[in-house]
Amino acid sequence: MSASRICAVILFGVALGACGGGDRKTSPELATVNGRAITQAELDAFMKLKRIPATDPERLSKLFDEYLEREAVAAEAEKSGKLDAALIAAEQNEYRKELLISRYFQEHLDAQVTDQAVQAYYDTHTAELEERKVHVAHILFRTHKTMSPEERQAKLTAARDAHAKVVAGTDFAEVARALSEDRVSAENGGDLGWVGEGGIDPQFSEKVFAMKSDELSEPFESGFGYHVVKVLEPVQTVRKPFAAVQGDIRHKLRAEAKSAEMERLLKAAKVERKAKPKPAAAHADKKAPTSDAR
């Protein structure tokens, strides 16, 4: 068995001890491994940790045999003298801290940030959860970074021609269906629906949210290309639906609750610094590598 595998076996025992339930001193003794008692409470904790129902006697007996085998291997590995005991202890301690902190905050945050808390935040933070939307249609002539100046000029000229057609009286939707290179919206006469502020492109958003109802824009450029835009319905401020923001609210509340609880725990713990740490000394028995060169 590899050293890493042995470490994993030993660490499993640490995890079990941290998560176990029941009083091992009063729980019935099921077996011993090198003199260490394996109790019913310890086995119950293992089954709970692995989410294994203990309803099948045959399966339970097999799992218990496997559990004892791992305990035996771990016990023999520990006393073999082949492993760095200090390193194993350090790794166990790190795993213990990681497990305790993770499980603690999982329980704490689940209790603090309930469905009711998320709903209450939504109900009381109206302004924070509002967004501005505008109903627009556009005619798009696409550009990309590899275009030559002449190609880009041709796209701008096409956008100006489309704009001129609408100004001359041709229906905007008709021009969009015929000329727009955004074929998805073109099928709907260029209609993009209600667009959230900043939801498509910063330049596009800045332009259309400054326009009035029924206003037609001159051709302008965004990251997608040249647009001719018509505002179908003016800017409205609407509240985001709960279903769309509940995940963000929960994440925010959990982050805030974790930060507050972390601060409380740190203040509650008594930490005394008694000396400055020193760099670890080089092992005296290590030798410098030798060269095979003759």
What CATH number is given to the structural domain containing 179? 3.10.50.40
pLDDT at site 20 = 46
The rounded distance, in Å, linking the Cα atoms of 142 and 181 is 6
pLDDT at site 69 = 97
Do residue 80 and residue 148 come from a single domain?
A: no
Place of tokens 């400055």: 276
pLDDT (average), residues 191-217: 93
169 vs 12 pLDDT, higher one: 169
CA distances (Å), origin 48, targets 53, 56, 131, 183, 287: 8, 15, 46, 56, 48
pLDDT tens for 105-159 read 999 999 999 999 999 999 999 989 999 999 999 999 999 999 999 999 999 999 9
The mean pLDDT of the chain is: 89
Do residue 149 and residue 216 come from a single domain?
A: yes
The answer to the question of residue 262 being in a domain is no
Do residue 134 and residue 232 come from a single domain?
A: yes
DSSP 291: P
Do residue 72 and residue 145 come from a single domain?
A: no
pLDDT at site 12 = 44
pLDDT (average), residues 195-214: 92
pLDDT tens for 248-277 read 999 999 999 999 999 999 999 999 999 999
Domain boundary among the residues 62, 86, 103 is at 103
Does residue 283 surpass a pLDDT of 70?
no
Do residue 148 and residue 206 come from a single domain?
A: yes
Does residue 103 surpass a pLDDT of 90?
yes
Measured distance between the N- and C-terminal CA atoms of the chain, rounded to whole angstroms: 38
pLDDT tens for 228-244 read 999 999 999 989 999 99
Domain boundary among the residues 239, 268, 284 is at 239
Q: Residue 264: what are its φ and ψ, rounded to 5°?
A: -65, -45
pLDDT (average), residues 73-98: 94
Number of domains, the chain: 2
Q: Whole-model pTM above 0.85? A: no
Does residue 1 surpass a pLDDT of 80?
no
pLDDT (average), residues 82-107: 95
The answer to the question of residue 246 being in a domain is no
Does residue 23 surpass a pLDDT of 90?
no
Domain boundary among the residues 239, 265, 280 is at 239
- List the domain range (segments joined by +) for residue 65: 3-103
The rounded distance, in Å, linking the Cα atoms of 178 and 214 is 21
The rounded distance, in Å, linking the Cα atoms of 69 and 286 is 35
The answer to the question of residue 263 being in a domain is no
The answer to the question of residue 279 being in a domain is no
Sign of the torsion angle spanned by Cα atoms 63, 68, 72, 75: positive
pLDDT at site 293 = 44
Q: Using an 8 Å Cβ cutoff, are 153 and 163 in contact?
A: no
The answer to the question of residue 204 being in a domain is yes
